[in-house]
Structure 1
Amino acid sequence: MRTFLAVADLWGLTEQERLRILGYPARSTYHKWAKQAREHVEFTLDADVLTRISAVLGIYQALRVLFATEQEGLAWLRGPHQATVFGGHPPIELMVDGTQDSLLTVRRFLDAARGGLYMEPNTADRNFIPYDDTDIHFS
């Protein structure tokens, strides 16, 4: 939780964005977690919240790997993106929509980029016609 708070501060997330990312806990619950984390008090978070925090930390790590500076990574996160999954919107908008799946989608997108599996769509991609069984020939 301490690391989540540090990343949220670095990214300039509002309290409302933090609450959405964490799955809409009550404000009092969020502030209790933050206080306990900062005071190094042990407490338990449920699996949903832990998965959400893990996704944020994975996104943070991927941005650090893919970009030379934190500022470049933050610019990517907050700038419009043309990949289909983002539809021209900043990835941060997807992250703060409140669903766990959206956080994991951004994380998977960045993990794929880290692994070299993603390229910006180009003309060949847009005009691609999927293969069917008649296109496969064995010799």
Structure 2
Amino acid sequence: MQHARREQREDQGPQRLDMERFAPANRKRLSAPALRTFLAIADLWGLSEEQRLLMLGYPSRSTYHNWAKQAREHGTFTLDVDTLTRISAVLGIHQALGVLFSDERAGVAWLRTPHQAPVFGGHPPLDIVTNGTQDGLMTVRRFLDGARGGLYMQPNALDEAFTPYEDADIVFR
């Protein structure tokens, strides 16, 4: 009997964790730092206010400005799960660009350059990211995560300038 109860609790473990992750207290704790980070990335990427609103799920302008003010002043507010998920995707995109490109400007240029990969259809990834859907953000994040994992992505300037090693370059000691 005791064993059955323990199994039941173990089965509920992941569900309990998910509930805690989305709990209002946790979202309140994460909201201001998440939005401050989002604003810094949006500034780096040179996003317009309209693009920022679309990436956040299109809150009203007054709500967006209130969030930004509260975040900058280290105030407290609570973002909903959708908005935090969108910000998380932006953070993942930013991190992946930092891994894939030698400097921030190259990563921003990649976001703004049209690409022929089927997922982009000749459009810049920034168009997909700012289409207003969570799916657009996740599509670009998944593409970049795949590129980080070794799936094909067009070579960048460092790759194109790479000179392969020759046997004489290998030193055994």
Question: Do they fold alike, i.e. is TM over 0.5?
Answer: yes
* Cα distance in 2 for residues equivalent to 1:119 and 1:58: 17
Number of positions where the alignment pairs a residue of Structure 1 with one of Structure 2? 120
TM-score (ref. length: structure 2): 0.68
Q: Which residue of the partner structure matches residue 18 of structure 2?
A: none
Q: Which residue of the partner structure matches residue 21 of structure 1?
A: 55
2:119 to 80, 85, 93: 85
1:12 to 11, 27, 46: 46
Q: Which residue of the partner structure matches residue 54 of structure 1?
A: 88
Structure label with greater radius of gyration: 2
Aligned-pair identity in percent equals 73
Q: Which residue of the partner structure matches residue 170 of structure 2?
A: none
Q: CA deviation at 1:92?
A: 0.1
* Cα distance in 2 for residues equivalent to 1:54 and 1:74: 18
TM-score (ref. length: structure 1): 0.84
Q: 1:1-139, aligned counterparts within 5 Å?
A: 1-119=35-153
Q: CA deviation at 1:117?
A: 2.3
* Cα distance in 1 for residues equivalent to 2:112 and 2:39: 18
Deviations 1:8-40 (A, max 9, x none): 001010000000000010000000000000000
* Cα distance in 1 for residues equivalent to 2:49 and 2:77: 21
SS in 2 for 1:35: helix
Q: CA deviation at 1:43?
A: 1.1
Structure with higher RCO (Cα < 8 A, 6+ apart) = 1
* Cα distance in 1 for residues equivalent to 2:74 and 2:57: 22
Q: CA deviation at 1:118?
A: 3.1
SS in 2 for 1:18: helix
Q: What is the RMSD computed on CA atoms of the aligned residues? A: 0.8
Unaligned runs of 5+ in 2: 1-34, 155-173
Q: CA deviation at 1:42?
A: 1.6
Unaligned runs of 5+ in 1: 121-139
